[in-house]
């Protein structure tokens, strides 16, 4: 089954599983990303970054010390674009305060099978 072309709608800031993953437009306009990576056993890590492609590669190579490398959270399962550093930091902090069940709901609303979305990044 072929995947649809990756293209973001012009007014939607969220990176979603269904045909909306993009990095080029967000990086060109100075956006930041709030993301969740997961392990195969579904340990989850929430973070933020300016360059989602590079950051995911850091997770995949184990270059993110601490929790992420210990639990091998290296599969991008959710991502959202923030308009500024401040809004990304606030959103990351908000998600980190949530209970695990709420984070899982957030992931599964857009990526019910926890597919690694990094394969769809530009």
Question: What does the domain layout of the chain look like in residue ranges?
Answer: 14-120
* Banded model confidence at residue 52, pLDDT cuts 50, 70, 90: very high
The token pair at 122 is 């530009």
CATH of domain 14-120: 3.40.1440.10
Distance, CA of 72 to CA of 66 (rounded, Å): 10
Q: Which residue has the higher pLDDT, 32 or 122?
A: 32
> What mean pLDDT, rounded, does the chain reach?
80
| Burial of 117 per CB tally in 10 Å (0-12, 13-18, 19+) | buried
Structural tokens at position 42: 């579904």
What pLDDT score was predicted for residue 63? 81
Would you say 21 and 119 are in contact if contact means Cβ atoms under 8 Å apart?
no
Given a cut of 60, whether residue 16 has pLDDT beyond it is no
**Residue that has been written with the tokens 């929790």 in this structure:** 67
- Residues 55-84: pLDDT tens digits? 999 898 888 888 888 888 899 999 999 999
Q: How many CB atoms lie within 10 A of CB 83?
A: 13
């Amino acid at each position: 089954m072929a995947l649809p072309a990756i293209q973001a709608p012009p007014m939607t800031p969220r990176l979603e599983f269904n045909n909306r993953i993009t990095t080029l437009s967000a990086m060109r306009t100075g956006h930041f990303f709030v993301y969740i990576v997961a392990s195969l056993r579904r340990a989850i890590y929430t973070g933020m970054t300016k360059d989602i492609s590079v950051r995911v590669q850091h997770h995949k190579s184990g270059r993110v010390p601490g929790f992420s490398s210990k639990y091998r959270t290296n599969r991008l399962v959710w991502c959202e674009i923030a308009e500024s550093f401040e809004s990304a930091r606030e959103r990351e902090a908000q998600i980190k305060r949530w209970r695990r069940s709420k984070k899982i709901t957030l992931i599964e609303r857009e990526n019910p099978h926890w597919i690694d979305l990094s394969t769809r990044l530009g």
